[in-house]
Amino acid sequence: MNSDISLPSHRENRFYQGAAATVVANALQAVNFLGDRFLRKSHHSFSAIEDLYRHSMDSAFSVAEAFLVTGAPHASAYYPRDFAWFYPDVLDPETIMDSQDAVRRVRLLEKSVRLLLEAVRADVVTTTIVPAGRGRYLGVNYFSRPSDTLLGILAGLQQMISAEERASSYLAMSQCAHAGRLLLAEYGGDLKRAILKLASELEPFDNDGAGCLLCDARAPRSAATDTRAERRRFVTNACVYTTFVWGLQLGVVDESELKRLLGRDLAQYKRDLLHLFGKDGYIRHSLDGPAGSPVSTIALDFVSVHRGFWDMSDASERALFAATADLVIAEPRFRIPSTFHFLVSAENPRNKMIHKIAAPAYQGRSSWPTFNVEFADRMLDYDEFSGTDTYRACAQGILKDIRTATEVHGGYQELISEQGLKYRTWAYKGAVAHSWFPRFLSVWRRAYGTPLLRWND
């Protein structure tokens, strides 16, 4: 394989959704989980971080893959949100091993983003797209309508278009940027329609005089921790705001169009969200549920996505972030003992029956390394804009412990149990999250000032 890349034209794809599609999609996903449960092969017995990374990248971006996947047991489906939450540094040149690696990444990213845009054109904006063979795809929502699907698609496009802005010798990067601009031109109208539809779905909500527009005022909307089945969540609404901002940055929508639908400009919309969820001086995870102690009402996903909600140049936002972060750091229930691995929440949230069987702590008493990496990155944002070193040591501790866990467990884990072990349930044996690994390297470079790994092309 050389460094040149030809992006293939797409074939005719069809998308389906509805009750019948959901039944079939659930059946296919059940087969995926069962296959993973009984057929997953043991991982390579590497221990050196460089060997683990090389194996992970060869797996994540294999030429045999049809699209970018996580490495989790449910990875036989597309999850559009992942491009915002989990894949923001797929094209960071310092994480790319060689020109062949660059070509593989660009090919998979382009194919994946194109298919997601085709789904938007077909008006299938769901949490999950399940391949059903021969160019057929099923759109299904697990467990509620999404708040972050469009955000993920925009993130994928944005990463493609900005590829050539990073200092790199890989020809594939400039070709990826060109392909991204072509996709934006081809599907920009479809994205605009979907974003304006999302804006029109927001509903007013008043809480003790603090009014705001919410996407989940009356019913849950999913985000990366969607199985909580809660309404009025900070992260779902932060995702919607960020979707609007990225839509503006890419030129997909005009602010005047959004202002007409929202009845306010985006700056005021954001101030309303911060006032509503931060009225107690810290960011509350959800307004849906009884009041409790501060640490019982926050969750680690408040850090939101890379280049997402938080603007640390604003002193009031920094104060809210710091107050929430300090609560997480100081509460022992948020941490795996003797580590800087932070759990999603201090208390396990309510679960539906399927989670009690398959993944009882998936959204609560477990550590998502990817959320920890974003927590570290937001800490570094805070220090950069405040001109201090308030959180750098903690950020470095987070990354150091993730590196240790990666070496101990034989790969970058999707989840770690609250005991610091591989996350294992009957139906979830513990996935190695191959394609999340580059983000870790990017933030490590920022925290320590030097790359963790180096390659010579």
Residues 6 or more apart from 228 whose CB is under 8 A from it? 220, 286, 349, 350, 363
Average confidence score pLDDT of the chain: 89
Nearest to 243 by CA among 179, 296, 203, 198: 198
DSSP reduced 3-state for 89: coil
Integer Cα distance of 247 and 245 in angstroms:
5
pLDDT of residue 4 exceeding 60, the answer is: no
Cα atoms in the Cβ-side hemisphere of radius 13 Å centred on 191 = 29
Angle between helices 149-161 and 99-121 (to 10 degrees): 140
Integer Cα distance of 320 and 333 in angstroms:
21
pLDDT of residue 349 exceeding 80, the answer is: no
Tell me, what amino acid is at 63? V
Taking only the tens place, the pLDDT of each residue in 286-337 is 988 777 789 999 999 999 888 889 999 999 999 999 999 999 999 999 999 9
ω into 83 cis (within 30 of 0) = no
pLDDT of residue 365 exceeding 80, the answer is: yes
Taking only the tens place, the pLDDT of each residue in 171-183 is 999 999 999 999 9
pLDDT of residue 340 exceeding 70, the answer is: yes
Strand ranges, E, within 277-355: none
Residues 6 or more apart from 122 whose CB is under 8 A from it? 14, 15
Phi-psi region of 52 (alpha: psi -120 to 50; beta: other; left: phi over 0): alpha
Report the share of the chain in percent with pLDDT over 70: 91
DSSP string, 59-79: HHT-TT-SS---SSTTTTSB-
pLDDT of residue 347 exceeding 80, the answer is: yes
Report the share of the chain in percent with pLDDT over 90: 66
